[in-house]
Amino acid sequence: MDKFRMIFQFLQSNQESFMSGICGIMALASAQMYSAFDFNCPCLPRYNLAYGLGILLVPPLILFLLGFVLNNNVSMLAEEWRRPQGQRGKDPAVLRYMFCSMAQRAMIAPVVWVSVTLLDGKCIICAFCTAVPVETLGNASHPSLSQGEMERILARIPCKEIYDGQELITNEVATRYLRCISQALGWCFVLLMTMLAFLVRSLRPCFTQAAFLKSRYWSHYIDIERKLFDETCTEHARSFAKVCIQQFFEAMSTDLAAAHCHQPREASTDAGETTRKLLGITDQGTMNVALKSWHRCKPPLHLHAPTLPSHNSWAGEGQPPVHPLVPRKEVAAYYSRV
């Protein structure tokens, strides 16, 4: 169990490198998926275009969405975007930076799929076989055919075993023509994506250096704050459970001692340390109010010296003390409902 916890903590501390590795693995997986994919063009005029473009565009869309799903920062971005304003403003530039960073990683696998598909040429041959210029590449002296018969014959170009239009245009000529166009589009797409990545990664910080540094800093801050908040809640829940269990067994020990006239067991020496980790929040109602307050009104980004709770920190007679970060009005409203 400790080994898995160490691995999880390592992945959390190196999340950016881990996500880059995941995107690289997805890119390799997309290339392997295409090589293992059994491409079967329907060779019908009405379905060739839909099938070819579907294989070209639908899997990249799925891989793009999968890249967002595997990114843990998506929930953090959604929470930051939808949270109430409270005492802390929301900077749209930071949200755009976070979204662009995730989109750049999620685009790797779709770009690899589209590049491999275009360089292979099967999708373009299937989708646009009916658009081959027969007047230029085919037999100009062939008897004229109707438009429907022409499309039916040309739609069979990807299927060599059933193609019956050799007198009109040879299968090899049409296939080479369409594959040449597909590979040209593929290399242009690779060049375009490479230039775009270069501009985004290299030139953008040069023109907006101050804004870029500010957005990157606060995006890192939001990520670290969320991790520390989760760790603090986990530690508080562990201490809460420990104290609750200790009090239960101490009460049971006292009852048993009273019933059997035994000496009650002494309290644990680390009970004070565990209680100190509760940070003054010692009941379910106050904890619920604290969590709701964190969501609705996060503390402002202005550090100051912590103030000690005064005698007015009590919510009322018979009620638990109020934590300094929890609004007293919310505690009072909660207990009025209870």
Instruction: Tell me the per-residue pLDDT of 227-257, one tens digit each, with 9 for 90 and over.
Output: 888 888 888 888 888 888 888 888 877 766 6
Q: Which residues contact 31 (CB under 8 A, 6 or more apart)?
A: 112, 113, 116
Question: Would you say residue 312 lies in a domain?
Answer: no
Domain-embedded: residue 301: no
Domain count, the chain: 1
Residue 34 resides in a domain: yes
Q: Over range 289-316, report the average pLDDT.
A: 65
Digit-coded pLDDT (tens) for 20-64? 566 667 677 777 777 777 788 999 988 999 999 999 999 999 989
pTM (2 decimals)? Answer: 0.68
pLDDT at 314: 38
Residues 337, 316: Cα–Cα separation, whole Å: 15
More confident residue, 263 or 78: 78
Q: Tell me, yes or no, whether 138 lies in a domain.
A: yes
Q: 230: left (phi > 0), else alpha (psi -120 to 50), else beta?
A: alpha
In a domain, 134, yes or no: yes
In a domain, 321, yes or no: no
Task: Residue 316: name the closest of 286, 276, 274 by CA.
Answer: 286
Is residue 157, in this structure, part of any structural domain at all? yes
Asked if the structure places residue 15 within a domain, the reply is no
Domain limits for position 186:
20-208
CB-side neighbour CA atoms (13 Å) of 36: 6
